[in-house]
Amino acid sequence: MCYFEPLQTGTAVELVDHYLDKFFGRPHSIFHPVTLRSLVGNGTLNKALLYAICAIGCKFSGNPDTRRQGSGLAAESKRLLQADLLNICLENIQACILIATLSVGHGDSASEALFFRIATAMAEIMRLNSPVSGGSVIDREIRRRVWWSLYMTDMWCISGLGLHSQLKDVQVKIELPINDRTFMSLHSEQVAIIGPVEHGIWAHLTTLVPLFGPIHNINRLIANGEIHNIELDQQVEQLAWSLEDWRQKLPIDAQMDQDNLRRQQKRGLGGLLISIHLAYHHYSTLLYFRYLEVQRPPSLTDRTYIARCKAHASSFSSLLRQSRQFKGCDVVYPNVGHMTTVSSSVLVHTLLYGDLDELETVRQELNANFEALIELTQYWPTTSAMIERLVVFQDMCLLSTEPGTHRLDGWMLRFLIEHSLDIEAKKMQVNPSIWNADLERMSSKAKELAEQGRYLNFRSL
């Protein structure tokens, strides 16, 4: 067993600051920043939880020696948590969520599922989905936010791992999270909020999440061989309306425009604002993706959905680029890698088969996406696998016959909805006796398309 050297308080404070700066409100919202910093400063935070937070914070340190401590901190956090699993408490739920998040970033899908499941079971035992009247406002709000964080990660887990959702059909008994600015300004002894309770930006992400399950189910049916039919098209139409209704009903503080982004940036909520709109464009891209290659003469509706798919993939890329340009607006949690790969797959498809007047913009967007993916590999090793999946996706497109005859098979749709899908499985489906001929044809096709400005060699970027 490796010797683990406990963290000095100063180092712990620094790493917690990194975590809050890069993660607060993005993939989850499970802490009150001021309270968390106070617990770390006075040394009273549960050690398993502290080390999990710091294992994430390490990844964003400018000190190479500090970054190298991440794996040790994660391992020690997991060891301490496993020794204390019979202690069903909020801190252990928070630690489970963070260890699961670390597992996502390191491609450990089994641990990802396990620790999310444990956290969800503990939350059910603690009845986090039930209103409470006692305690401070901060305590009540953290309980609420932890449950909503689990609700959202449960939706992602079923997508990436093909597991049954534990919370999809649960009756929600608690209110949405309060306004994020109000939450951050609460003091420890406060027992009530004066005036009307408003919901903030993060609350609107929780109202978007229920649309993910139906979108996922439609793509799963298509991936499993279900043909296009009127019923599926009607479901898409309804979901398209629901997504647009969600966007149109956003209050001014949650809308995406340059003025509001700068306003939320000053409040420390710019990354959160970008995150909810990245999710919106990601969901929309997934909804319309299958229309890129409809196996029938395209109708007016088909063409509308194709245009929307391309527009959402482009908007995702634009927002991702802004997140890297605006200080404090970073979106660098593990799932961003998968979402960026999905956006890029649409852009690759457009590059290969789109109109000439689309090519310059698409190349710029692909390059911007790829720069973001390369940055993410510094923090999350699994991003390299995401890049490889994009390469395989492009290769599978090249193995098609001619533009216009390309068809999206079940694997390609599963590629979009399952972030843990084994890319080697697709390669193994190809008969080895014809693989060399396919490689030669692919190489020739890639050279031809590169001369036309329609091909990007991701491995050389």
- What pLDDT is recorded for position 461? 52
Instruction: Tell me the whole-structure pTM to 2 decimals.
Output: 0.92
**Residue range 387-429, pLDDT digits in tens:** 888 887 777 777 664 444 445 556 566 666 666 555 554 444 4
**Residue range 341-383, pLDDT digits in tens:** 999 999 998 988 888 888 889 999 999 999 999 999 999 999 9
**Residue range 55-88, pLDDT digits in tens:** 999 999 999 999 999 999 999 999 999 999 999 9
What average pLDDT does range 218-241 have in this prediction? 84
- What pLDDT is recorded for position 428? 42
What average pLDDT does range 161-172 have in this prediction? 82
CA 337 to chain centre: 7
Query: Which residue from 216, 116, 242, 218 is spatially nearest to 167, judged by alpha carbons?
Result: 116
**Residue range 291-338, pLDDT digits in tens:** 887 666 778 888 999 999 999 999 999 999 999 999 999 999 999 999
Count of other CB atoms within 10 angstroms of residue 21: 15
Distance CA 301, CA 291 (A): 9
What the block records as the tokens of 93 is: 């739920």
The DSSP code for 126 is: T
Q: Residues 183, 202: contact at Cβ < 8 Å?
A: no
- What pLDDT is recorded for position 412? 64
Distance CA 242, CA 307 (A): 18
